Amino acid sequence: MAAVVGAELMLVVCLQLLAGYMIRRNATRSFDTALHGQALSTAAQVRFTEGPTPELQFDNALPLSLNSKVPDLFRIETQDGRVLTSSHGLDDLRMMRGEERIWEFTWKGTTYRGLYLPDVPVMDAEENAPKSSATLNVTYAASTGDMMSSLNRAFLTILVGGLILLMLSVFVSFRAIERGLSPVTELAVSANSISTRDWDLKLQPSVFKVEEIAPLADAMSRMVQTLHAAFQQQRDFTSNAAHELKTPVAVLKSTLQSLLQQPRSGEVYRDGIGDALQDLGRLETLLHAMLRLARAEQNPGPGELAEFPNADVVGTCEAAIARLAPLAHNRETSISMAIPSEAVIVAAPPEDLEIVWANLIENAIRYGPSHSEVRVKVSCCEGVVQVAIEDGGSETLLQDMEKIFERFYRGDESRSRDSGGYGLGLAITKAFVQRYGGSISATPLEPSGLRVSVEFPSSGEKSNSSPKNLI
C-alpha cells in the first residue's frame, strides 16, 4: 500500500515538474515575443527630423512599460554608433549582454530579460524622409518580475492542486481496495472456522457481491463439501471397522482369559490354543476385507483411469467360478455361464475384476437355497458390458435392496455370521465397480431370487472367439 502511494507521489511530482517546465517555456516565449514587439515599437519612434538634412531622432514618447512596477530599459543607436536614446542613463546596456541576442541580467536588484535587435529599419512614413537604408540597433530589456510572480502562482496552483488530487486519489483507492478486499477477509474468517467438527462454510452474502471473489467463494465451498464427504466416509469407515473388530477381539480375549481362569490339562490348553488361532483367523479375514475395501474406495487420480490394464471379463468370471467350485459343491449348487461370441474387454486390473465376480457369485451361492442354480450371464452391446448374476431365491427383502451394498450390512445376522461374512463383500464389489467406471444394481426376480447386474463401459478391440455355451 505504502509503495503504491509512494509511486503515485513520485508520478505526481514528475508530472508537476514537467508541467512547470512547459509553462515556464511558454511564458518565456511569449515574454520574448512581447519584448520583440516593445523593441520594434520603441524603434518606430525614431524619426527623421524635418529640415533639409534630416537627422534621426528619438521621439520622446515612451512606450508603455512591459512591467507594471519597473520601467523597461532600452537603447537605440544608429549603425555608426550614435546613441539616439538610452533610458535611465544606462549607457552600456549593450555591453552587459555580451554576444547573446537574448539574455538575462540583474541591475539594481531587478532581474531583466534583454533583447538585442540589430539592423531594424527606420520606420518613418513621412514623405520628406529620405529613403535611406539607415538601420538601427535596438536593445530592449524588461523586468521579468511580473512573469516570475505569475509563474510562481501557477506553480503553486499546480502543486497544491496536484497534492489535493493525490490525497483524494489515495483516499478513494484506499476505500475502493478496502471495499474490494473485505470479502476476502470475510472469506478468510469463514475458512478459518472450518474444522473437523464444523464443516459449515458460513459465507456472508456480501462475498458473492464482488464479481472477482464469487468464483473463489464457490470453489471454496465446493472444496469444503468434497473434503467433508471424504472425511465423513473415512470416519464412518473407521467407526464401522472399530465396531466390527470389537466382536472378534472380544471372542479371542475371552477364549484366552477363560483358559487362564484355573489350571487345566494339557489337552484343554491345546484345544484352547486351537480355538484362539481360529478366532485369530477370522480377525485376519476381516482385516483383509477391510483393507481391500479401503483400497477399492480410493478414487482413481486423474489420468489413472486410462492406465488401467484391460481385463477379459469371461476369463475373470471363469477364474472366480473355479475358485468357488468347492463352496458350490458343498452347497450342492450348480453354476451356469452364458457368454457372447466375441471377447469382452473392460479397463480394470484382472485381479480386482475377479474379486468383483467372486464376491457376487459367492453371495449367490451362500444366500440362495442349496440344490439350486446360480446363473452368470455376460453380454455386450453398444459399448456396454453387462454381467448379471442370478440366484435361485435369496431371502433378501425388497426394502433391503438399497442397503445390501452398504458396508457391514448383513441381511441376516445368524446366517452371515455362520458363513463367516462381515457384510463387506458387496461393499467391496460396489467400490471396485465404481472405481473402474461401472455401475451395479440389484433387482428381485419372479417368483424368487435375486439378480445383481454390473455394467462397465466396454474397452479395447473386439476379436472373435469361439462361442461357448453353458458350462
Instruction: Select from 18-26, 45-53, 388-396, 413-421 the region that touches other proteins (CB under 8 A).
Output: 413-421
* Residue in the structure block whose three cell numbers are 450348480: 334
Rounded alpha-carbon distances, angstroms, from residue 459 to 67, 367, 387, 463: 99, 32, 15, 12
Taking CB under 8 A as the rule, which mask of x and - marks residues 241-270 in contact with other proteins? --xx-xx-xxxxxxx-xx--xx--------
Residue from 8, 32, 77, 275 touching other proteins (CB under 8 A): that is 275
Q: What span, in angstroms and rounded, lies between the C-alpha atoms of 109 and 147?
A: 16
Rounded to whole angstroms, the Cα distance separating 382 from 389 reads: 20
Q: Which lies closer to other proteins via its Cβ, residue 271 or residue 351? A: 271
Minimum CB separation from other proteins for residue 240, in Å?
11
* Residues of span 17-46 touching other proteins by CB under 8 A: none
Least distance in angstroms from the C-beta of 382 to other proteins: 44
Minimum CB distance to other proteins, residue 285 (Å): 15
The stretch among 29-37, 386-394, 398-406, 408-416 that binds other proteins (CB under 8 A) is 408-416
Minimum Å distance from CB 421 to other proteins?
13
Residue number, 204 or 247, with CB nearest to other proteins: 247
Within 10 angstroms of residue 144's Cβ, the number of other Cβ atoms is: 21
Q: Which residue's CB is nearer to other proteins, number 88 or number 415?
A: 415
CB 422 within 8 A of CB 408: yes
Whose Cβ is closer to other proteins: residue 106's or residue 257's? 257
Task: Pick the closer one to other proteins by CB: 94 or 264.
Answer: 264
Among the listed ranges 10-18, 89-97, 167-175, 414-422, the one in contact with other proteins (CB under 8 A) is 414-422
Least spacing, CB of residue 255 vs other proteins, in Å: 6
The binding site for other proteins (CB under 8 A) comprises 243-244, 246-247, 249-255, 257-258, 261-262, 275, 279, 412-415, 417
